[in-house]
Every structure is written in C-alpha cells, then in structure tokens.
Structure 1
C-alpha cells in the first residue's frame, strides 16, 4: 500500500505476518528496481521521498506492484439502492452504514461487506415503518459481488441486523451470518421462508399514560405504539456464502420471542422480556468466538435490559447446529439479568474464548462465569489496559445508578469481575473509553463523558482534563500511542497542554449512526499495524479508505493476526459500535 506522505513523496507500508520468520528481511522495489532493504528489526514502513503518483511498489521484482492512492484514500464505488416506499406511502432513500471485511474468495485479499440502512430506520424505543435493510459485498476495486435483502420482516435500525463476517468452516473463505426472516432474499435471488408473509404491525395511535404502563416518550406526545414493529412470526439465523451471497444454512433463531411459540400476546411478551412492545426483546447482539479453542462459533444474543439470552452456533459440514443457549431467566441465573450492554466483546482467558456481555461474562461452556452486578451500559473496552498487573482489564460506563451503586464508570479485572476502581455519578454515563494517549503514565488512560477527569490505569486523576470526545481510538501516526477517532476526524492528544491536535479531517465524507458518530469501519486492513479509516462519501456513492501518510519505526505484527483484535473487527458493527482492541498492550513503553 502506498499513499502520498505528509512530508512529501510516498509512504509505503506492508504486512508483517505472525507466521513470518522472526527476523524476516524485505526488499522494497520501485518500478522493478530495489529501492530499500529492510532488516529484521526495522518497521514495514518506508518513506520514499522521491516517490510520485505514478511510482509502482512491490516486495518482489516481478510483482505488478501498487501505485500511490492519488488523493490519500482508496475509493470503493458503491451501487446505491433505489429509493423505497413504505406501505403507507412514505418515501425513503438509503445510506451506506456499517462495514466489515473478510476474504470472501480465498485469494488472500479482503473484500468489504456494507450494510445499507434506510433514512427512516428506527430505534427500538420508537415505532414506525423502517424500510428494509440491505447487505452488499464489494472487492477493493469496487466490483459488486452480491446483495442480500433482509426483507420486510426484519426491522431496520442499529439493534436489529448484526452481520458477522468470518471463515466459519475453515475452508479459507469467509461466510456471512445474520438474523433473517420470511421474505429475506439471498445474493442469488432465492427467498428464505414465506415470501408472502408480513408480520409488520399496523396498529393505530394510542395515548401515552404513565398509569397504564404504556411507553412514555420525552415529549409526552401520542405515538403509534406498535405501528411498524415486528413482534410476531418466525425468525431465522442464516449463514451465507461469501462469494455469491447464497444462503447455505438456515435454522430457527434461538430463543424465539416467546418460549411457547412465534405468536406471543402483549402480556406474554411483558412477562418474558419486561415490556409488550419489543423494546427489550428486539435488541440483538452478534459476535464470533473460539469456544473450543480451535474453530470459530457464532454468538447471537437477544435482550440485555432485563432478560439476557445468548446462543452459540457452529457451522460445520454445511449445517448449523446450536452448541449452547444461555438464559438469565433460567433458575440459578438470576444475577445475570439486566447486565447486558449495547455491544459485546470476546476474549481468551484460558485457551477458549469467553463472551463479555456487558456486566456479565459467559464461559466457553455456556455457563455464566461472573456478574459484576453493575448493570447495563452503553460502552466497554477490553484489553491489557494495565500492563503492570497480570491479565486483562475491562473498562465500561453504566446507566442504572441503582444497580451500579451510583458508579458512572468502572475498571474491572476481566478474569474475576472484581472492581479495581470506579468513578461516581448520579445519572447515566453515556460514553467512555480507555486507550493509551499519555506516555507519562503506564497503561491506558480512561475517561467518561460526564466527568471532567482523565484517569490513569490505576484510577488516579491526571491533571489537565480529558479529550472532548470519548468515542473511538485508532493507531494512526508513528508512535505506539493511540489517537482519537470521533466520527471522521482523527486527532492527537497533546498531554502537555491538555488539547487535541487535528491529524485528519477529510472533506466530502460523513460518519454513521447519528450521535454515535462512528466510522463504517476502523481496522488494520492493509497490515502495517496502523489502522485504516473507512467512511462513506456524502451521498453514499462510494466508501473511502484512508490510510496513514506517516512512516513509523515500530515493527509490529499485523493486528489482524491477534485473535482478540480480529474478533473485535468482526463484532465492531454490533449495535453501538466500539473500536477493536488487542489482547496485549500496544502503547508507550
């Protein structure tokens, strides 16, 4: 990969694989002639000060090589879907949203998988028709491989369509897995389920009244409480072929909305999930985990405000089978109720992965491992946040002040759930992050949206305040500290002056998911250990991949060869997106 360098010329970088010899050497060629020899302790990053837009680089003399990205980014043309219309006549258009990567054809290069969301997509808290969700696959050259239409019986919004891209059966090619329903159309135009079934509610308006237990919106107005919601009908989990989008295997989604069947009453829904209108039962999470330590399994969850359910699935020999189902409603699991987050994470503590579902952890066997009892939260970060102590740590923010004991944020031991330190709050803490931004203090620094303080890994206050945003982190420049990613903007924390220094603010692009302001994807796609930024252009005519123009002296194996990081890229598109983290500490030494 080559991009115009900030200092002039071209910055050229390439992957260092975990399978490469420890002291592997490289020869970088330009136009077939040796340009630089990289020794066994030098970074896979080179500044060609005399490089031009037509310079072609390779690691072998006879390779066709790569030229520099003209504008500092790689444009991926998109096939924007045509506008749609709801059953009551409302028109909507589409915007490119979350993305993921996977090697769909086994050629050693990633392809991009892109979710399209309608402009009328809805959060679970609100009723209304939402339009249909579409999933596309593209090569890095912009060739569209297929389109999957999830159909009218899967509602559109951040909590409904988590799509996992991973090689599930070990054949060297990635599959795609997601929740489907009657009317889903695969990439070969084949229908799943009943093509004529419509399970979308068309209830009329109802008055909001606290005494009746009906949903109360902040403005107290009338709402069409059930209109557009999907609370009945069969649900499926489907694995699709990465090359063609063809449905390979489909199984009933577990658990169903009601253990008694697919047509629960409002009272049954309320008894099982905590409400009768689908705000709790229709929140889904997705991930991938190596539960046996050798092969990946799919993780798909339902619910986290009250009842939390998580199913593990294996795709083997062309068939889907459920490995286990965890349910907080099972007698003995009461302490796991209400402990879920708007996202999950997967880490390895004993050779087999554990599923972190917010303030609770499920072991590889499907048994509850621990619950901190701190309750629901909107963000969490898992990594070796404090390298001075053994194991990994989890930093998260919390919403339920009663459950958390008025803790707004807390750092936990990832193995036991023990609270290492916490901060006080009297209301929901909506955002928080833990990344290494200050070399003066060992480990990651942590901060939250409703606190003025920046904390070191031990919970000590660092004077001078914290960055404005508590959103994403990205490794972008040449040092081992992580930079700040908020929407489409990348900045560096100036720890001496307590200020952010802008490094990238690309024009003509947008971030996703409203106030969440996340990119389509951030990941080490091209492999020199710095991360690329993937964002849609305004109007969603293309995705743009931005790569750092800054050389580095740090020789680090591609982050995608760290299992925790790679799994983090897979679950990054889940609900309230969070950045991927490594299983080991990458920060100031």
Structure 2
C-alpha cells in the first residue's frame, strides 16, 4: 500500500492587493492563492464602488487608465457568474514605492567615543499576527563587522513592522552578540502551525525581548578588546512573532568549545553561522541552525529543531570534524539551499559542496570545497527535479563553477578557473536556449548543458528577480560608489542580442546593503501578483521602500509564496551572503503555462470567499 502523500503546513494569505499611480493611470495587482489556482477563480475591479472591468480571466492585474490618486478600488473574486460580496479594498499609492517609516535607533558610541549610525540591513517577511498579510522583520547593525575584521560593534537589533509602518516590537540581542552578516541568522516562520509566525535566532546574556524581559545576566560583557566574543554562554531562543516575547530558550548547539578547533584562535572561524527552515518530516517546518564550514578537519555542524508545545525540541545533529565525516569538512558555503532533492517528499539541505538528508545523515560530499554563492531550484523545463549551480573559492578546485545533480552530487559539467571564483548566478535570461543560463565573474554565459553562449556574460551577478511581464528574469543589482563606499540599487534587463544590460528601474534615494554585495533588505513576492517586490532602505535609514512592478502581464500564476522551495528561500534569504529566490517549478517562455499545484495544508483554512453576488459577464 502506497504511503499517503504528505501535505506541508503553509500560511493562509489574503489578497495582498496594491494600487499604484502611474503615468498611464492606476495599476492594480493582487494575489491568487495556490488553493484557488485550479478552481476557475477570476476577478472584477470596482472603482469607488462601481464596476469598471470585465471579468478578468487571464491575469491578476489591471490598468485603470482613468484612475486617479484619490480613488478607492475593490478587487472581487468571481466564480462563474457570481462574485464575492465584499472583496479586498485598496487605496492608491501616489508614489513609485510603498513607504514604511522606521524607528531608527540612536547612534552607537564605542568605548573610544566614536559614533556610528545604525543601518537598516537584512530583512524577512512573515505573517506575525495572523491577518493573512505579511509583516517585515528588520535587522539593524551599527559598525557591523565581517568575522575577519576587528572592532566593537553596536548591539544588533531586530524590529517588526506592519506594512503601514506600525512597529510591533524591538528585540535587542545585546552586547554579547556581534553585529554582522555572519552572526545573526534570524528565521521567521510559523513553526508551531498556529497561523502566526515565530522568530528563532542565537541569543546571549543581556538579550532583551520585545516585552523587556532579559535573558541571563543583564550586566555581563564578554567582548574582548578586539570586539570578538569568545566566552560566555550561548543560547538559541524562540520568540513570539506577534509580541517579540521569549517563548523558549535552550543552550546553543554546538557550543564554541575550544576556539582553535574551528580553524583559528581569534574568533573568525568559530562564529561562521548559517540557518534555514526545512520540512524535514514533509509536513511541519523545522529550524536548522548551523555552525562552521571552513578548513579540512574543522567542525561543520547542523542541528535541527522542531517547535513542540512552544518549546524548541532537538530533532537531530549532523557533525563533521577530524574524527567523523571528515569528507564533509570545508565544504560549506556562506549560504545554503533547501528542497526535496531526491523526491521522497521530505526536505534535504544542500550545504555548499555537500548535502544532508532529512534525517540528519550525510548524503554526499563533492570535495570541491567552500564557495561564496549557489542556486538550488528548477532550472530545466518539463521535469520535476531540482537543479543546482555553485561556484568555488579554492584556486586549485577542479571546477571553479559547476552544475550538478543535487540529489547525488554527480557533476554534470563544470569549468576549471584556477582562481577564487567570487560571483555566480543561474537564471533564465535568454529565451533562445532551453532552460536557465549560468555565468560567473570574468567568464562567459552558458546553458544548463554547458554550451558557451557568449564569452562575456552579464556583469550583473547578484540577484535575479521576476519583475516585468514576461517569463524572463531580470537582474537586481547595484552600482557601487567607491568614494562614498555605498551601493545604489538597480534592476536591469539583459539584452541578450546586444550582450548588454539595460536599466529598467533606478530607485533614486535608496541604498543597497552589505557593501559591494549590493543586496536589498529583501526580495520576495510580498504583495500583488506572482511577481516579486524589492525592499531597499532610503539614504538616511528612516524608511524602507517597497518597490513593486507596474507592468501588465497576461500570465496568471498563484503566489510563489505557496511553493515551499520559494517560501523557504525567502525565509533564509537573510543568511550570511544572501542569495535570491528560486522555485520548485521551471519558469520560462518554453514552460507548460500551468503550474503544478503544491500539496499544502493551509493552517487557517483555504479562506474561500462566499460567491453570493450575481454579476454580468
């Protein structure tokens, strides 16, 4: 007897409607849920209570050429010749972006009297209060440091905001958590399946939750003269997402132990953290906290937790070091990927050049060692299997970049570079070739089969984003100003015929994050139809700006947030060297236009409207 397919617990979402004033009128866009996708759900648009559209069957967007900034719109779902009674009401945003005002912290002043401003850095999104719409969780850094650099940093802060700017809470991780992209990986997800997301991250003595409660010794200060924290207790804490209050705290596993065992004596290697969310049992989300990925024989550790009765309960621990699983050491990236790579309905973790099974057992190690970026998703049409692309840092690596089967580790093709291959990306940018294309810094652009398309690929090698109305991905990046040492965001279209980038969005007055990596606070399908929003900070860190496309499309897909590969890639996007989102299904001009419907169980039900209102076609 075959096992019954498992259903993944997934958030129930509202319509997520937006109305943006443009030169052409008012552009409207709204969300189609995955459970509506095969139910022949269509839509109508009302302006100020009066219907203005025919039944919209082929998209979830609309341009009202006569719309003004003062109008109020209603999006109503339709089934047959019946519409829902109330629908989703939305006011017009008379700007290029949606503004979220921030409560910017006061400057951090170090022991020598130097003052450093806080910057709005990485973010996550989740439904914290169960209303079916997303909130933004934001990390603040002041004088944030890479692990390889000395210096005392400001206290790392986590804020939660509703999209209208209402601040829900602030968590202060305290002076014993260093600020920087490698230190605080915060996973925000509905771990207890109650319809409201929780937050999990590393904490320490002096961490203050959203209600003012303090973990451990509030006066403890374990920082050394160089700003590193090499002693003192380490914790993992589960916070209530709606209030920021502590729900549970456990000892952090693995502890730092003997610092030298991680690869140095001063604090670089020991504090290399990653994290992710994964459906390890195929039904419920688990959080996986990771430590270490450098140096042969030095520890690489992944520890999975479930949230049971609002407590963190350890599920398994994977350990590689000089005494066991040594082939898995020095294989991790500054990022990771999660998906069902072997088709068993359970998630695995691709940890750079190695993979760990849903049960915490190693699957394989390629031995190609550490790299700075990787992409896990479906990059080839007409197959349910996931694909994988990775670059490698070691100049002696057999492949500086490679495409492999993520389930087995089999290298499909790759290229020796003889150098630190610093950037790489896999995305659909050229419709002339089947499947995605991949390219790296200072090299060509290739097909998924390894065919060289051009000796010079796009110079944008950061994020890929679904932005305009076609099925080709655009490129989200930045221009770095060497004088100011700041990055200015851009979205480009790759002109594959002329082999050049074309700017299609230049968001004035905004800044990118993480120095020359130039990443947004977050990129995800937060609002509107299936296409993605980009969130950047403004120039003085007093505001987040959500940019959403205003281009029409006739492709009607459900929200990508109901695809677990995509949803999880959003959840761990803030991990270390941020990577862009991916899906479990292929998106491109040669795709089957119908997406596979995910096997999900929606924790607050399917929220189908009552179709009671007669309408004309």
Question: TM-score scaled to structure 2, two decimals?
Answer: 0.87
Q: Does 1:128 align with 2:151?
A: yes
- Shift of the alpha carbon at 1:477? 0.3
Q: Does 1:366 align with 2:360?
A: yes
- Shift of the alpha carbon at 1:123? 0.6
Match of 2:466 among 444, 468, 475: 475
Match of 1:187 among 210, 228, 231: 210
2:561 aligned counterpart, secondary structure: helix
What's the counterpart of residue 556 of structure 2? Answer: 555
What's the counterpart of residue 347 of structure 2? Answer: 353
Residue 436 of structure 1 contacts residue 443 of structure 1 at CA under 8 Å; is this kept in 2?
A: yes
- Shift of the alpha carbon at 1:2? 3.6
Q: Does 1:269 align with 2:259?
A: yes
What's the counterpart of residue 253 of structure 1? Answer: 252
1:169 aligned counterpart, secondary structure: coil
Q: Give per-residue Cα distances to partners, 1:316-360, cap 9 Å, x unaligned.
A: 102111111111127441110000000111111321110111111
- Shift of the alpha carbon at 1:37? 3.4
What's the counterpart of residue 104 of structure 1? Answer: 128
- Cα distance in 1 for partners of 2:68, 2:241 equals 36
- Shift of the alpha carbon at 1:422? 0.6
Residue 201 of structure 2 contacts residue 237 of structure 2 at CA under 8 Å; is this kept in 1?
A: yes
What's the counterpart of residue 585 of structure 1? Answer: 586
- Cα distance in 1 for partners of 2:118, 2:259 equals 32
- Specify whether residues 65 and 486 from structure 1 end up closer, same or farther in structure 2 by C-alpha distance, changes over 3 A only: same
- Cα distance in 2 for partners of 1:3, 1:506 equals 18
Residue 3 of structure 1 contacts residue 72 of structure 1 at CA under 8 Å; is this kept in 2?
A: no
Q: Give per-residue Cα distances to partners, 1:186-232, cap 9 Å, x unaligned.
A: 00011001112111112xxxxxxxxxxxxxxxxxxxxxxxx111111
What's the counterpart of residue 94 of structure 1? Answer: 118
What's the counterpart of residue 516 of structure 1? Answer: 517
Question: TM-score scaled to structure 1, two decimals?
Answer: 0.91
- Cα distance in 2 for partners of 1:64, 1:106 equals 17
What's the counterpart of residue 544 of structure 1? Answer: 545
- Shift of the alpha carbon at 1:38? 3.5
1:343 aligned counterpart, secondary structure: coil
What's the counterpart of residue 337 of structure 1? Answer: 329
The residue correspondences of 1:375-394 to structure 2 (distance < 5 A) are 375-387=369-381, 391-394=385-388
- Shift of the alpha carbon at 1:536? 0.4
- Cα distance in 2 for partners of 1:323, 1:88 equals 45
- Shift of the alpha carbon at 1:463? 2.7
- Cα distance in 1 for partners of 2:55, 2:286 equals 39
1:59 aligned counterpart, secondary structure: strand
- Specify whether residues 354 and 144 from structure 1 end up closer, same or farther in structure 2 by C-alpha distance, changes over 3 A only: same
2:35 aligned counterpart, secondary structure: coil
Q: Give per-residue Cα distances to partners, 1:388-425, cap 9 Å, x unaligned.
A: 666111101100133x22x2111011111111111221
Match of 1:27 among 33, 44, 58: 44
- Cα distance in 2 for partners of 1:501, 1:450 equals 19
1:183 aligned counterpart, secondary structure: coil
- Shift of the alpha carbon at 1:25? 1.7
- Cα distance in 2 for partners of 1:428, 1:536 equals 31
What's the counterpart of residue 281 of structure 2? Answer: 292
What's the counterpart of residue 99 of structure 2? Answer: 75
- Shift of the alpha carbon at 1:39? 4.6
What's the counterpart of residue 499 of structure 1? Answer: 500
Q: Give per-residue Cα distances to partners, 1:550-584, cap 9 Å, x unaligned.
A: 01000111000000100000000000001010011
Residue 5 of structure 1 contacts residue 47 of structure 1 at CA under 8 Å; is this kept in 2?
A: no
Residue 391 of structure 1 contacts residue 414 of structure 1 at CA under 8 Å; is this kept in 2?
A: no
Q: Does 1:411 align with 2:403?
A: yes
- Cα distance in 2 for partners of 1:331, 1:141 equals 53
- Cα distance in 2 for partners of 1:67, 1:102 equals 22
- Specify whether residues 330 and 241 from structure 1 end up closer, same or farther in structure 2 by C-alpha distance, changes over 3 A only: farther
The residue correspondences of 1:97-246 to structure 2 (distance < 5 A) are 97-118=121-142, 120-202=143-225, 227-246=226-245
- CA-based RMSD of the aligned residues comes to 1.4
Residue 37 of structure 2 contacts residue 558 of structure 2 at CA under 8 Å; is this kept in 1?
A: no
- Cα distance in 2 for partners of 1:296, 1:554 equals 30
- Shift of the alpha carbon at 1:88? 3.3
- Shift of the alpha carbon at 1:387? 2.5
Match of 2:272 among 272, 283, 300: 283
Residue 38 of structure 1 contacts residue 44 of structure 1 at CA under 8 Å; is this kept in 2?
A: no
- Cα distance in 1 for partners of 2:240, 2:376 equals 31
1:564 aligned counterpart, secondary structure: helix
Unpaired runs of 5+ residues, structure 2, are: 1-16, 77-84, 479-488, 591-617
- Cα distance in 1 for partners of 2:102, 2:133 equals 19
- Shift of the alpha carbon at 1:62? 4.1
Residue 21 of structure 2 contacts residue 94 of structure 2 at CA under 8 Å; is this kept in 1?
A: no
Residue 335 of structure 2 contacts residue 577 of structure 2 at CA under 8 Å; is this kept in 1?
A: yes
- Cα distance in 2 for partners of 1:68, 1:461 equals 46
- Cα distance in 1 for partners of 2:348, 2:66 equals 49
1:342 aligned counterpart, secondary structure: coil
Residue 21 of structure 2 contacts residue 95 of structure 2 at CA under 8 Å; is this kept in 1?
A: no
2:337 aligned counterpart, secondary structure: strand
2:31 aligned counterpart, secondary structure: coil
Residue 11 of structure 1 contacts residue 46 of structure 1 at CA under 8 Å; is this kept in 2?
A: yes
- Cα distance in 2 for partners of 1:5, 1:144 equals 26
| Range with bigger deviation, 529-538 or 495-504 | 495-504
- Cα distance in 2 for partners of 1:8, 1:422 equals 47
- Shift of the alpha carbon at 1:89? 2.7
- Cα distance in 2 for partners of 1:481, 1:346 equals 23
- Specify whether residues 25 and 302 from structure 1 end up closer, same or farther in structure 2 by C-alpha distance, changes over 3 A only: same
- Cα distance in 2 for partners of 1:187, 1:273 equals 33
What's the counterpart of residue 564 of structure 1? Answer: 565
